Structure 1
Amino acid sequence: MCNRIALFALSTALFSPMALAHPHSFITLVTTVIAENDQLTGLKMQWTMDEITSADLLYDAGNAKPDSPVWKKLAAEVMANVLGQHYFTEFWHNGQKVTFDNLPPQYGLARVGHQAVLTFILPLAHPQPLKGQTYQFATFDPTYFVDMSYDHNSDAKLPETLAKQCKISVKTPKPTEDMQAFALSLDKADAPPEDMELGKQFAQQVIVQCQ
């Protein structure tokens, strides 16, 4: 996640019973496929941060109204860091990575109760055909410092226009006991080897299949 959120999570982790284990921060995902003219053009994403991670952002926002420049500035800061990590998302078609446009057409940050909620559109660099195709994508923090996951399989959605043509499913991985033990052994300041892709081992895969 963005540096300011990660740093805050690091400091608060000291007071958590999970301080000596990854992950230290949690983001709940809701994703809707976007399609136009029988082509897949992007993903509409909603990321709800846990209350501890949210606290830093909500403190900075203070009592600012939803349309205040304060929220717009915070949203821009968070979004810039998300873009720096390629939306924390990988998207695949026929074994090849699908690239993204680095300028989201829409994004925003809001307060929902005691949580910060980031919403944005992840645009594909090029529209992808839907008919007879299968796509797979996952959203995750490679270091697994932040757990990014769907609470319910139904939180990965299709628009009504694709309901008859396509189906969507969420595949939750089952990491080995050794992998789980390794994640639990990591201190808040530890980082797993980059080539290990620890976060990917725990990442849910969303599969879109169209007729």
Structure 2
Amino acid sequence: MKRYGLLLLMFWVCLPVQAHPHSWISMKTKIVGSDGYITKLSMAWQMDPMTSAYALDGEDVSPAKIKKTLDALAYEAVSNMYQQHYLTQMLVGNKSIDFVKTSKGHYRLDGAKLTLMFDLTLQHPIPLSSSDIRLQVYEPTYYVDMEWQKASDVSLSEQLAKQCKTTLVQPHPTAKQISYAASIPIDVTGDPDLGNLFAQTIKLDCH
């Protein structure tokens, strides 16, 4: 197995372009909570076909072995993302909330696309009475574009839906920042703060 590169989002895929990003993730996120607190995030991240093919290259995907293969790949992907805060920032004001360390997750193969599914439990549940609750998910170097394609890709658990609403805020990088990202060669990782400039934000308003 590819021990390096099983961090889901760090594949060096040889695409025929000379610009960031080089890989694309379509996300769905469910924000979970009860008893007046936000407690967990349930993630489903679908990779583009080329990145999915690279992830499975050389792996045993025969009918008899594919479940074992996907389980092993998911374990390593989620485990490795711990060092990057799972590429996820759950924020209250300027404070980022930590997640309980996990390696649990699973891959689903839908045609040519892999989807990684996993849960992140907050170490300290967020009271719904908190102000300025936000969620961002991004890869810091913008090697990978991570996107909720529509507002409904972010949902709330039943209890949270009674008290909260979400707003999807799109990023507004400048023309200069867009040009800079486009100028980074394919074999250069790039600026570790670049991803934040292109990151969407989910705002939660609760009462």
* TM-score w.r.t. length of structure 2: 0.89
Q: Map residues 38-57 of structure 1 onto 2, 5 A cutoff.
A: 38-57=36-55
Match of 1:125 in 2: 123
- Of the three residues 176, 186, 206, the one matched with 2:202 is 206
**8 Å Cα contact 2:71-2:105 kept in structure 1:** no
Q: Is the 8 A contact 2:9 2:139 kept in 1?
A: no
| Deviation at residue 184 of structure 1 after TM alignment | 0.4
- Residue identity in the other structure for 1:32: K
Q: Secondary structure at the match of 1:87?
A: helix
CA distance in 2, matches of 1:30, 1:56: 22
Deviation at 1:100, TM superposition (A): 1.2
Structure 1's 173 and 7: CA in aligned 2 closer, same or farther, altered over 3 A?
closer
Structure 1 residue 161: Cα displacement: 1.9
Partner of 2:26: 28
1:78-127: CA deviation from partner (whole Å, max 9, x where unpaired): 112222211101111022111111125x4211101110000000111111
Q: Which runs of 5+ in 1 are unaligned?
A: none
> In the alignment, which residue of structure 2 is the partner of 1:149?
147
Q: By how many angstroms is 1:70 displaced?
A: 2.0
CA contact (8 A) 1:51 1:115 kept: yes
Per-residue deviation, 1:77 = 1.4
Matches within 5 A, 1:133-172: 133-172=131-170
**Which secondary structure state, in structure 1, belongs to the residue aligned with residue 55 of structure 2?**
helix
Q: Select which of 168, 171, 174 maps to 2:172.
A: 174
RMSD: 2.0
1:44 Cα offset (Å): 0.4
For residues 165 and 140 of structure 2, the distance between their equivalents in structure 1, rounded to whole angstroms, comes to 27
Match of 1:80 in 2: 79
Give the superposition deviation at 1:67: 7.8
Q: Give the SS at the match of 2:139.
A: coil
Q: CA offsets per residue over residues 28-55 of structure 1, 9 Å max, x none? A: 1100101022211110000000000000
Tell me the percent identity. Answer: 31
How far apart in 2 are the matches of 1:89 and 1:127?
15
1:94 and 2:93 aligned: yes
TM-score by length of 1: 0.88
Distance 2:166 2:204 in 1: 5
Structure 2 counterpart of 1:103, which letter?
Answer: T
CA spacing shift, 1:8–1:203, aligned 2, 3 Å: closer
**Residue of structure 1 in register with 2:68 after alignment:** 69
3-state SS of paired residue (1:80) = helix
Larger helix share, 1 or 2: 1
- Of 129-138 and 65-74, more deviation after overlay is shown by 65-74
The CA distance in 2 between the partners of 1:162 and 1:6, in whole Å, is 30
